[in-house]
Amino acid sequence: MLYLIGLGLSWKDLSLKALEAIQKCDEIYLETYTSLADFSKLQLERLTGKKIHALTRKQVEETQPFFKQKQKDVALLIHGDPLSATTHTEIILEAKKRKIKIEIIHAPSILAAAAETGLQLYKFGKTASIPFPQKNFKPESFFDIFEQNQKIGAHTLFLLDLNPDTNKFLTIKQAIDILYIIATNRASDIFTKLKLIGCARLGQKTQKIVYTSVRQLPKVNFGKPPYCLIIPAKLNFKEEEFLRSLK
């Protein structure tokens, strides 16, 4: 059996169901490249009493050691919810091809925690990721998604990239700078006229949510990652009331 186990957004999100599954597993792996948590591999080992092997992105997507113990119970621990990233749905498909039984144990994720902003989840459109700019790699598809969402009156959730080599997140200021440059190059004024929501550590006790103009948000000190950026579309009166209440 292969268990895909969600760790949630904070230390206390690990469920009894998840702990029971981990206890029965012979091999346990931790995916380390999609997020930074407020707890460490060592803390998980102390809690579970099990040895946990940390995996890089290449190991999760290519070498996939969790498939090599076919006759054993194996767990892959994933920050947030196991099915929030497309990589993990690929793992499910591959397990089915190999005739390996699989069980999913869900947990809180950023996709649900975004509702702590007061925005209604059913009004969100496509989610997009903003990557670190690299030489010869400057995609703009995330800006296209934002424009599409705005046209249909849908909110846009931007997930900000994590560099697994440096363990650094793209900051909210960097993300806004990237969006501003693209908007300027396209002679688009749709972005510069909006108010944005910056979020840090959603789902944790120290979470921070700020709703302000595109010019003021980069000046806010959000503290430690992880971060996300939300661009609201047209707000209803309840959403407006909630956002005004944010301190």
What pLDDT shows up at residue 56?
83
In angstroms, rounded to a whole number, what is the distance separating the alpha carbons of residues 247 and 243?
Answer: 9
Residue 239 has pLDDT above 70, yes or no: yes
Strands 208-213 and 2-6, how do they pair?
Answer: unpaired
Q: Which segments of the chain belong to CATH 3.40.1010.10?
A: 2-108
Q: Where are the CATH 3.30.950.10 domain residues in the chain?
A: 111-245
Residues 6 or more apart in contact with residue 85 via CB below 8 angstroms: 34, 78
Residue 85, SS3? coil
Rounded to the nearest integer, the mean pLDDT of the chain is 90
What is the tens place of the pLDDT at every residue in 100-156?
Answer: 999 999 999 999 999 999 999 999 999 999 998 888 777 899 999 999 999 999 999
Could you report the per-residue pLDDT of 59-107, keeping only the tens digit for each?
888 888 889 877 899 999 998 899 887 778 889 999 999 999 999 999 9
- CA angle, residues 61, 62, 63, in degrees to nearest 5: 120
Q: Is the domain defined by 2-108 classed in CATH 3.40.1010.10?
A: yes
Fold of 111-245: 3.30.950
CB atoms within 10 A of CB 166: 8
The predicted model scores a pTM of: 0.89
Segment 10-46, tens digit of pLDDT: 878 889 999 999 999 999 999 877 665 556 778 888 8
